[in-house]
Chain A
Amino acid sequence: MIRTTKDDSTGVLIVEPGTERLTAANATQFKEEVVACIDAGENMLVIDLSQTGFVDSSGIGALVGVLKRLGSRGEVVVCGLGSDVRRMFEITRMNRVFTAHTDRAAAVSALAATL
């Protein structure tokens, strides 16, 4: 499901959900796959939602689950939020939980700056 790309210069892992809709139908799988990356040692993550047009409450829960699994061991940010996803983030106050960047380049740069 997820697609990952490692930015070798910074060590940041870019994660794409690999689905246009992150919902109850696939949120558990998404979370498990990202958590597996974290358990394998990844600790700087960008969740690229530019190809994901809709996120429901299960998708939000999965993102929160990823954030909690990472805890204080690292950072996770999001990027590429379209209008519907951005609205869902605002409604559920995820805009206060996750730092959102316009695109993956900006997200990677921001994470690299924290190293």
Chain B
Amino acid sequence: MAPELGAIDAVLARVRQVAAHALPPSRAGDVEIALAELLANTVRYAVHEGVLAPSIQIEIAQGEDALRIAVTDRGEAQPSDLYDDVPDLQDIDPLAESGRGVPLILAMADRVRVTPRPGANRTELSFLRKVTR
């Protein structure tokens, strides 16, 4: 995917199709919400030495237990604590104009695994096939 906000919707449309087959109907929307936020954050922050990373790689794997989507960018190593101490959506000021992206990712995905590495930041979202929520 090109590192452009305008490129996100086409990716989401394809991923949503996969999710609709791989997950219960109620979860396809979760995938779209979480991945939209992850990709937007990746485009915004995937910068290396002041230059936007040239591409963002998206991998989809359908396991027996879960649908896994990994996003890898070639920017500088992202903070290792990006997903630590994230406020719950319910605790965010309703009148805040930003700050909901990461909380939404954590609320929608069953698991978020981050591997920060310069030139190869990888964030993997897992969505369980079995409805647990």
Least Cβ distance of A102 to chain B in Å?
21
Identify A64's interface contact among B5, B33, B43, B96, CB under 8 A: B96
Identify B100's interface contact among A25, A54, A61, A87, CB under 8 A: A61
**Considering only CB atoms and an 8 Å cut-off, how many residues of chain A contact the other chain?**
24
B49-57, B62-70, B87-95, B113-121 - interface stretch? B87-95
In the complex, the answer to whether A54 meets B94 with C-beta atoms within 8 Å is no
Q: What string of 1s and 0s marks CB contacts (under 8 Å) between A20-32 and chain B?
A: 0101110000000
**Considering only CB atoms and an 8 Å cut-off, how many residues of chain B contact the other chain?**
24
**A interface residues, Cβ below 8 angstroms from B:** 21, 23-25, 54, 56-58, 60-62, 64-65, 67-68, 84, 87-88, 91-94, 96-97
List 29 A-B residue pairs with CB atoms under 8 Å apart, sorted by A's residue number: A23-B5, A23-B9, A23-B40, A24-B44, A25-B5, A25-B9, A54-B32, A54-B36, A56-B36, A56-B40, A57-B40, A57-B104, A58-B40, A61-B96, A61-B97, A61-B98, A64-B94, A65-B97, A68-B97, A88-B33, A91-B104, A92-B89, A92-B100, A92-B104, A93-B89, A93-B90, A93-B92, A93-B94, A94-B94
**B interface residues, Cβ below 8 angstroms from A:** 5-6, 8-9, 29, 32-33, 36-37, 40, 43-44, 89-90, 92, 94-98, 100-101, 104, 107
